[in-house]
Chains A and B, each alone.
Chain A
Amino acid sequence: RKEVEQDPGPFNVPEGATVAFNCTYSNSASQSFFWYRQDCRKEPKLLMSVYSSGNEDGRFTAQLNRASQYISLLIRDSKLSDSATYLCVVNSETGGFKTIFGAGTRLFVKA
């Protein structure tokens, strides 16, 4: 089993739709969590951190459930420019520094 698992998609949605991505992680000692965005043939860039209480940044909402070891990202009112791959990222500094990236979920937003 992979340490961080995501639905690979692709998700094909129309503009204006709401789409949710899920991510599960296996290391209960994981300490911090992030969503990164990666455009085709580009480097990953931080989209948002994920806090225990949940957090929102404009149209994006991230949730963390430590008990279930589950992270989610909700995108409301999807734009064409949201088309990208979304990477779930988990950090652990127990027993050595460790950052694990999920394989990513591909999103296509269509007009």
Chain B
Amino acid sequence: DAGITQSPRYKITETGRQVTLMCHQTWSHSYMFWYRQDLGHGLRLIYYSAAADITDKGEVPDGYVVSRSKTENFPLTLESATRSQTSVYFCASRLYGTSGAQETQYFGPGTRLLVL
């Protein structure tokens, strides 16, 4: 089915390990985003991408790396996982533009990550 998907949906890892969360969208949306959601903080932007090969930092980028070699994929890598990175991670996408439906962000189902 078309849409935005994330994998894995659940992940348990250990401190210090590298972890990559995958995000794939089939709409050819220009923008893609990675958020983390924690109790008391709501959704916080980690990184975003305006197009292939263009990425920029969000509010909480430290400890994360992203790439976007293809429009449809936007993987997020935790280079050396820490316990503070235990969270729910949401990927989102939207069209390019600043009016109406173009600004709607569509979210993937989330990845629940536990770092032991």
- Whether A43 sits at the interface, judged by CB under 8 Å, is yes
**Chain A nearest CB: distance from B32 CB in Å?**
12
Tell me if A93 counts as interface (CB < 8 A to partner B). yes
How many chain A residues touch B (Cβ–Cβ < 8 Å)? 20
Within 8 A of B (CB), among A57-111: 87, 91, 93, 96-99, 101-104
A32 to B56, CA, bound (A): 20
A32 to B105, CA, bound (A): 13
Closest to B35 in A: A101
Chain A residue nearest in CB terms to B39: A103
| Bound-complex Cα distance A97 to B97 (A) | 12
Q: Tell whether A43 pairs with B56 under 8 Å between CB atoms, given A32-B98, A87-B43, A93-B98.
A: no
Residues of B within 8 A of A104 (CB): 42
Inter-chain contact B103/A32, CB cutoff 8 Å? yes
Q: Contacts A43-B90, A104-B42: A99 and B98 contacting too (C-beta < 8 A)? A: no
Which residues, 32 to 65 on A, are CB-close (under 8 Å) to B? 32, 34, 42-46, 49
* Chain A residues closer than 8 Å to B100, beta-carbon distance: 49
| Residue B50 is within 8 A (CB to CB) of chain A in the complex | yes
Segment among B66-74, B79-87, B106-114 that sits at the interface with chain A: B106-114
A43–B98 touching, CB < 8 Å: no
Cα distance A98–B47 in the bound complex, in angstroms: 11
A99 with B107, Cβ < 8 A, contacts A31-B98, A43-B90, A87-B42 known: no
- Contact residues of B with A, CB < 8 Å? 31, 33, 35, 40-45, 48, 50, 56, 90, 98, 100, 103-110
Given A44-B90, A101-B42, 4 new contacts (CB under 8 A): A34-B103, A43-B110, A44-B43, A99-B45
